[in-house]
Amino acid sequence: MGMVRHDAYTLLVQGEGVLEFINGLSTNLVDGPCTTVFTNRAAQIIDVCDVIPVGANVALVGYNPYKSSLIEHLSQRILGQAVSISDISHLNDVFLGLEGCTCPEGTTVHASFFGTMYVVPKKHAFIPTWTEEEWTEHRIDRLIPFHGHEIRPSVHPLACDLGELVHPQKGCYIGQEVLTRMRSRGRLGHRLVKRNNPVDNATTVGAEHSLVLERIQ
């Protein structure tokens, strides 16, 4: 069993109808725990976040370099709703890996698109059991796109094999019209594939294999 430290932030979204608030601003159907994508009007990625209900509130776990952009995006759209956003990143460490890892008391375990996510209270000073290289090899083997490699703010979700997180029947979220139009015109984006090294245009490079995004014909 292994896990790696995720360079993550954690936001606590509180108030009335917080799931509905997040659902109205992201690509997936948010009616409970899930992974979803926040996009701008051009359907470019702002961040890919995990939604973890905490009682009547919700924890949003995203990629740390994109934190300020997401907070600004969400805050501008509260518009008088009884919703508040607090940064609680200083209270938790976040790890990604395989299911069934042993963790300290108080750990929240969540089924993420990226694997099993463990949100561990920072007071435990928990040490990951995987190196970044081991995590990379795991992602290559499982064809998992990730931040800083396949997932970048300049692209839309279909361009980095996140189509699973774009709900086909959902409407009325920022970027929805662009993504729906792309699908209706048969522009299905890219899929992530594993190739033997050396690989041109690799997005993730491993010891023997690499990941590359290939256009779906």
The ranges assigned to domains in the chain are 3-91, 132-215
> pTM (2 decimals)?
0.95
Confidence at residue 212, expressed as pLDDT on a 0 to 100 scale: 97
Place 87 in a pLDDT band, splitting at 50, 70 and 90: very high
Q: What is the largest CA-CA distance in the chain?
A: 53
User: How far apart, in Å, are the Cα atoms of 140 and each of 39, 132, 151?
Assistant: 25, 12, 14
Residue 1 pLDDT more than 90? no
Which residues, other chains included, contact 185 with Cβ-Cβ below 8 Å and sequence gap of 6+? none
Residue 73 one-letter amino acid: H
Residue 106 burial (10 A CB sphere; 0-12, 13-18, 19+):
exposed
pLDDT digits (tens, 9 = 90+) for 7-62: 999 999 999 999 999 999 999 999 999 999 999 999 999 999 999 999 999 999 99
Q: Cα torsion at 150, 154, 158, 163 (round to 10°)?
A: 70
CA distance linking residue 166 with residue 158, whole number of Å = 8
Identify the architecture of domain 3-91 in CATH: 2-Layer Sandwich (3.30)
Mean pLDDT, rounded, for 172-201: 91
